[in-house]
Amino acid sequence: MQNNVYSVLNCAKEFLRSIKIDDYKASAEELLSAVLKIKRSKLAAVREQKLTEKEISLFNLYIQRRAKREPAAYILGSCGFMGFEFIVNENVLIPRTETELLTEEVLRACSFEKERNAFCGGLTVLDLCAGCGCIAVSLSKLGGFKAIYALDISLKALEIAEKNAKINEAENIIFLQSDIFHSVKDKKFDIIVSNPPYVSESEYAALEPELKYEPQIALMTGEDGLFFYRRIARQAGAYLNGGGQIFLELNANKAEEIKDIFSRSGFKNIKIIKDYSDLPRILTAGIS
């Protein structure tokens, strides 16, 4: 067998496909490009390049780990989000495109306010359940906010988030260990954003094996998956300035229930935004 990029990559794809890895093509290409330290888009240009024994050994190790359903992001220890690179491991969720939509909605709203001559640089943000810090760091880099508070109950997650802020040179982020609002009881914010745990117990049992590698505490909550939405809806109003807004990632299966929770808690102008799969994914709401 030839040990060039083309043959090694095709062999890996076929192996992953044979064991029913859905994203076998993307996984093999992502892992090999990491081994070769090139962009995935450049693989075709080096298809005849021979791999060294060290590169083959490392790639085989990566493929064997992926075969056990370990996510590629954990194998490589990093993941892209909003054009930035983030450290990830088993202590934090892997950032996803749905959460990019959430971040983009916050930025879009701020851009709209800026066009109305509001001073965007004076706005403060609270990121609940911050995880690896992907939302807070991206908002810091792209939003020009006065301050961002990033909260998580997991100290291990906050350690990763702080590293991500440092490597991305994101300033004005304050990281605090907190069970929801506990550590910011004396503060108010212009924006609250959160991708909270929202998988129900029955939904968690049916998840694909890859998701079982991710921290359960960041995925599953309570019997019906609505625990954090209820808590946030009940308390958030006390932490928002007048005219403040809240932005949440949704469990698409329970969007109407979540909308009703926030409506009954007094929130106004509630909107549901769909994701690229046409599923209800983002909730935005305000207070009078």
Domains of the chain are: 5-68 (1.10.8), 79-286 (3.40.50.150)
For residue 53, give the DSSP letter: H
Check residue 119 and give its pLDDT. 42
Mean pLDDT of successive 10-residue stretches along the chain, which has 288 residues: 89 97 96 96 94 96 98 97 97 96 94 48 92 97 94 97 98 96 95 95 92 93 90 96 96 95 96 96 92
Q: What pLDDT score does 287 carry?
A: 86
The Cα-based distances of 14 to 4, 21, 74, 146, 182 in angstroms read: 16, 10, 22, 50, 50
110 φ, ψ (degrees, to nearest 5): -70, -35
**pTM here?**
0.92
193 Cβ contact list (under 8 Å, min separation 6): 102, 103, 106, 125, 126, 127, 128, 135, 139, 246, 247, 248
DSSP structure class, residue 172 = S
| Per-residue pLDDT at 1 | 55
Q: Is 140 exposed, middle or buried (0-12, 13-18, 19+ CB in 10 A)?
A: buried
How confident is the model at residue 121, as a pLDDT?
61
- What is the radius of gyration, based on Cα positions, of the chain? 21
Predicted local confidence at residue 122, as pLDDT: 83
d(CA 168, CA 138): 9
Q: What is the four-CA torsion angle of 79, 85, 91, 92, rounded to 10 degrees? A: -80
Report the alpha-carbon distance of residue 205 to residue 276 in Å, rounded.
25
Alpha carbons 91 and 28: distance in angstroms, whole number:
24
Question: H or E element: which one contains 97?
Answer: helix 97-115
What's the pLDDT score for residue 117? 37
Among 211, 195, 221, CA closest to 131 = 195
Whole-angstrom distance, CA of residue 221 vs CA of residue 208: 17
